[in-house]
Amino acid sequence: MKLRKSEEPLLGRAVALILVLCVSGMRAETARYSVPEEAERGSFVANVAKDLGLTGEELLARQARLVLEGEKQYLELNQHTGDLVVREQMDREELCGQSEPCL
């Protein structure tokens, strides 16, 4: 099938629209949670799957993971349930020193 010159820009726009629609389904989500300094190991923080409107299976299929800063992994994500739990107790002074606020 040979396209007329007037149809070529429309084809390009259609392809671009399809690409945008496909890529828009693949996006990164950012979530922030507060954790008390005294929280013990294994303490429940949040259900990430529920907060993002996903099931545990969808989290697993999307290969959800935590992006960490620093050497210690203070939190752990269960990809099957979506539960975010404390892996290691946090020390505010060790994390932030005297800076305010400590984020």
Is 2 within the bounds of a domain?
A: no
**Per-residue pLDDT tens for 22-33?**
444 555 667 778
Q: Which domain holds residue 55?
A: 47-102
Is 32 within the bounds of a domain?
A: no
User: Could you tell me the CATH number of the domain that includes residue 53?
Assistant: 2.60.40.60
Is 83 within the bounds of a domain?
A: yes
Is 26 within the bounds of a domain?
A: no
Query: What is the total count of domains within the chain?
Result: 1
Is 40 within the bounds of a domain?
A: no
- Mean pLDDT value of segment 69-86: 87
Q: How far is CA 95 from CA 9, 54, 85, in A?
A: 55, 31, 18
Question: In angstroms, how far is the first alpha carbon of the chain from the final one?
Answer: 60
pLDDT bucket at 40, cuts 50 / 70 / 90: very high
The residue ranking higher by pLDDT, 72 or 15, is 72
* Structure confidence at residue 22 (pLDDT): 45
